[in-house]
Amino acid sequence: MFYSSIGHYSLILGLCISLILIYFSVKNFKNSTILNTKILSFTFLQFFLVVISFICLIISFVLSDFSNETVFNNSHTTKPLFYKIAGTWGNHEGSLLLWLLVLTLFIFIFFLKTKNQPLKYKLLTLIFQQIIIIGFFLFLIETSNPFNYIYPMPEEGMGLNPILQDPALAIHPPILYLGYVGSSIIFSSALAATYLNIVSNVWASHIKKWIVVSWVFLTLGILLGSIWAYYELGWGGFWFWDPVENVSLMPWLALTTLLHCILVLEKKQVLTSWVIILSISTFTLSMCGTFLVRSGILNSVHTFANDPERGLFILVFLFSLICVSLFIFFFFHKSSQNNLNSFFWLSKETSIIINNWFMMYFLSVVLIGTIYPIFLDVLSSQKISVGPPFYHKLIIPFLIPFLIAMAIGPKLKWIKSNIVDKVYLILLLIISIVLSFLIVKKFDFNLLLNTILVSSALYLFFITLREFFIKKYSNISQNIAHFGFSLLILSILFNNLFSSEIITNLKVGETFTSSKTKIVFKSINQKKEKNYKSIIANFSIENLDGIIDNLSPELRIYNQPNIVTSEADIKTTLLSDKFIVINIVQNQDYFNVRYQVKPFMLWIWLSVILISFGGLISFFKKEYEK
């Protein structure tokens, strides 16, 4: 009761401070050239109030205060402490509060860290950011208040969905939000810079830091979600082109494009309009994702409650943000007129434009695949779904030129360039083709496509690898990221090519034998934990080489809420993952067993970490590129 009230009133105070801040900023904007120190203090105060509110919610969760509706709906006394805390942001209301927390934190950091920029620009960014913050405050207080009372107080809570009770999912939302919310700073700052007409290389190198930070967090956030889906959902894969995954991929694609594009602006004062459009669309896509997921239009583990009012609110909010930004873009943006903006066709600029083109293509494919079913449903009430074949067919062929351009592009110089090291480039291409042909040859299907795909990925791999040795680390971050990407594509390709799967139904004591594998279902034991019972199945699996693996997948029957989850048992080695998951079928003695050998699984995760590591290095480097 007590903590809920404190939390609730801090939120309302925080909202008031937004209004005060806007008032001061507008006054300061008109009159003075020196920053009003009150603004900084109020920004901090606002952040502080949201922190208090957030801590209150955590305390309510830890104390299992079921007079709080959010706690009642998402917690339970028997839940382990770690998940009581993590459960704070594992639900709709709490995750929005977290979003707000990051919003206020980022604008505070923005004020502390932004130097050498015009005061007007800082103030205007603050105003735009406060408009977004007000939107979220209103959304939170009006439609999804985390501090609603229940009277009389229930004895026991409803519990958290067990598949969310997982370490990866405890840190997935905060990391992802850091990326999403970072894009809001980029959005506000781009609008402010457009309004003041200071979109220049100085602005570009300042905002680049924010782009890199958001990008790193967004990448890691998506990675965590993917790892979780791999071992918790038991589908035995890392990406399913599920609409919910797609909505996080879309801002990532836009942000990655922006990350490349800002480099051109930084060097050459061209592509200004394009950078602004990308900044706007990155944030819009993040918001769109929130709308689609929160409104219940897309059904998934993220849909905590289907409430049309919430969806409508976000839709109206999103729509007005888009209108405001388009208005500012069309009325205040002056495209730069200078004589620097011509460049030769073979240059770094061209290669970045090529990158942009491909990224936009991938983005539109994902966008169409995600929203087309929604439109069709609204227009003709036909229900359809768009599956992986759609995405594979449209994306994979374009990966080939994309990878090759990615290999050669960074080697080019600005404005005008020649291709140097022609011998090496061709030699490496031949090596990659021969090597990939030898690898793929064993598999009859799609020989041509697979060879070309693997060889283009190998080509990028070799070229970036060679770069590590010959360059004096002048753009190491870019090289690491591209190297990581080649590794990612290679791992995904090998993973797809060499995966094998056995699905069968077995009783205890039975044995499944195929030409390559023998699966013995030895026994089951039971275990009782605090909030669930578990059935542990013991398998021993023997493959052709005579190696025997003992794997014990688990079924957990949670008591509150009463849900069965499968815990896969995965044996990870450098070269491949052995993955086994079981399921019971109601009223039957049989267990449904799924056994998979997934090569290079570990490398998929590692390469994504490597990619974001590249971004991290560029953040800490003072001078990115000569």
Identify the residue among 131, 404, 564, 606 touching other proteins (CB under 8 A): 564
Three-state DSSP at 624 gives coil
Q: Is 606 one of the binding residues for other proteins (CB under 8 A)?
A: no
In this structure, which amino acid lies at residue 502?
I
Phi, psi (rounded to 5 degrees) for 519:
-110, 120
Contact 190, 121 (CB under 8 A): no
Q: Is 500 one of the binding residues for other proteins (CB under 8 A)?
A: no
Rounded CA separation 203/262 (Å): 10
Shortest CA distance to 86 belongs to which of 212, 171, 199?
171
- Give the nearer residue to other proteins in terms of CB position, either 187 or 230: 230
Q: How far is CA 234 from the centre of its chain?
A: 20
What is each CA distance from 569 to 115, 186, 581, in whole angstroms? 51, 42, 7
Both structure tokens of 321: 């943000």
Identify the residue among 41, 197, 335, 364 touching other proteins (CB under 8 A): 364
CB of 376 to other proteins, least distance (A): 9
- Give the nearer residue to other proteins in terms of CB position, either 374 or 427: 374
Q: Is 338 one of the binding residues for other proteins (CB under 8 A)?
A: no
Rounded CA separation 362/368 (Å): 10
* Contact string 122-161 vs other proteins (x = CB under 8 A): ---------------------------------------x
CB of 48 to other proteins, least distance (A): 36
Choose the binding region for other proteins from 73-81, 122-130, 499-507, 514-522 (rule: CB under 8 A).
499-507
Rounded CA separation 531/165 (Å): 11
Rounded CA separation 193/177 (Å): 24
CA dihedral defined by 306, 308, 313, 316, rounded to 10 degrees? 130
Say if residue 466 is exposed, middle or buried (CB neighbours under 10 Å; 0-12, 13-18, 19+): middle
- Give the nearer residue to other proteins in terms of CB position, either 234 or 410: 234
Q: Is 308 one of the binding residues for other proteins (CB under 8 A)?
A: no
Q: Is 446 one of the binding residues for other proteins (CB under 8 A)?
A: no
- Give the nearer residue to other proteins in terms of CB position, either 377 or 421: 377
Q: Is 482 one of the binding residues for other proteins (CB under 8 A)?
A: no
Identify the residue among 282, 478, 495, 565 touching other proteins (CB under 8 A): 565
DSSP for 23-56? HHHHHHHHH-SS--HHHHHHHHHHHHHHHHHHHH
* Contact string 160-199 vs other proteins (x = CB under 8 A): -x-x------------------------------------
Rounded CA separation 243/390 (Å): 13
* Contact string 231-270 vs other proteins (x = CB under 8 A): --xxxx----------------------------------
Identify the residue among 340, 384, 420, 430 touching other proteins (CB under 8 A): 384
- Give the nearer residue to other proteins in terms of CB position, either 553 or 614: 553
- Give the nearer residue to other proteins in terms of CB position, either 88 or 356: 356
| Residues contacting other proteins: total by CB under 8 A | 48
Choose the binding region for other proteins from 3-11, 14-22, 228-236, 517-525 (rule: CB under 8 A).
228-236
Q: Is 509 one of the binding residues for other proteins (CB under 8 A)?
A: no
Identify the residue among 16, 19, 340, 368 touching other proteins (CB under 8 A): 368
Three-state DSSP at 539 gives strand
- Cis amide bond preceding 251, omega within 30: no
Choose the binding region for other proteins from 115-123, 296-304, 485-493, 612-620 (rule: CB under 8 A).
296-304
CB of 172 to other proteins, least distance (A): 15
Q: Is 389 one of the binding residues for other proteins (CB under 8 A)?
A: yes
Choose the binding region for other proteins from 91-99, 247-255, 380-388, 513-521 (rule: CB under 8 A).
380-388
Identify the residue among 78, 552, 583, 625 touching other proteins (CB under 8 A): 583
CB of 234 to other proteins, least distance (A): 7
Rounded CA separation 290/96 (Å): 10
Q: Is 559 one of the binding residues for other proteins (CB under 8 A)?
A: no
Rounded CA separation 229/138 (Å): 33
Both structure tokens of 300: 């998934």
Q: 505 pairs with which residues across the strands? A: 592
- Give the nearer residue to other proteins in terms of CB position, either 73 or 477: 73
Instruction: Write out the binding residues for other proteins, residues 516-555 only, by CB under 8 A.
Output: none
Choose the binding region for other proteins from 181-189, 209-217, 319-327, 586-594 (rule: CB under 8 A).
586-594
Q: Is 436 one of the binding residues for other proteins (CB under 8 A)?
A: no
CA atoms within 13 A on the CB side of 301: 16
Identify the residue among 586, 622, 623, 626 touching other proteins (CB under 8 A): 586
Rounded CA separation 277/435 (Å): 42
CB of 326 to other proteins, least distance (A): 21
Both structure tokens of 535: 């059935």
- Cis amide bond preceding 152, omega within 30: yes
Q: Is 508 one of the binding residues for other proteins (CB under 8 A)?
A: no
Q: Is 335 one of the binding residues for other proteins (CB under 8 A)?
A: no
Choose the binding region for other proteins from 51-59, 285-293, 447-455, 577-585 (rule: CB under 8 A).
577-585
Identify the residue among 566, 576, 607, 612 touching other proteins (CB under 8 A): 566
Q: Is 372 one of the binding residues for other proteins (CB under 8 A)?
A: yes
Q: Is 562 one of the binding residues for other proteins (CB under 8 A)?
A: yes
In this structure, which amino acid lies at residue 460?
L
Identify the residue among 148, 341, 504, 517 touching other proteins (CB under 8 A): 504
- Give the nearer residue to other proteins in terms of CB position, either 510 or 542: 510
Q: What secondary structure letter does DSSP report for 277?
A: H
Q: 558 pairs with which residues across the strands? A: 532
Contact 86, 170 (CB under 8 A): yes
Q: What secondary structure letter does DSSP report for 492?
A: H
DSSP for 428-456? HHHHHHHHHHHHHTT--TTHHHHHHHHHH
Shortest CA distance to 501 belongs to which of 520, 491, 514, 488?
514
Q: Is 385 one of the binding residues for other proteins (CB under 8 A)?
A: yes
Identify the residue among 505, 534, 538, 572 touching other proteins (CB under 8 A): 505
H helical segments located in 269-307: 272-294
Q: 511 pairs with which residues across the strands? A: 520
- The answer for residues whose C-beta is within 8 angstroms of residue 382's C-beta and 6 or more apart is 376
| Dihedral angle sign, alpha carbons of residues 583, 585, 587, 590 | negative
Interacting residues with other proteins (CB under 8 A):
161, 163, 233-236, 299-301, 303, 357, 361, 364-365, 368-369, 372, 382-387, 389-390, 393-394, 503-506, 510, 512, 561-566, 581, 583, 585-588, 590, 592, 594
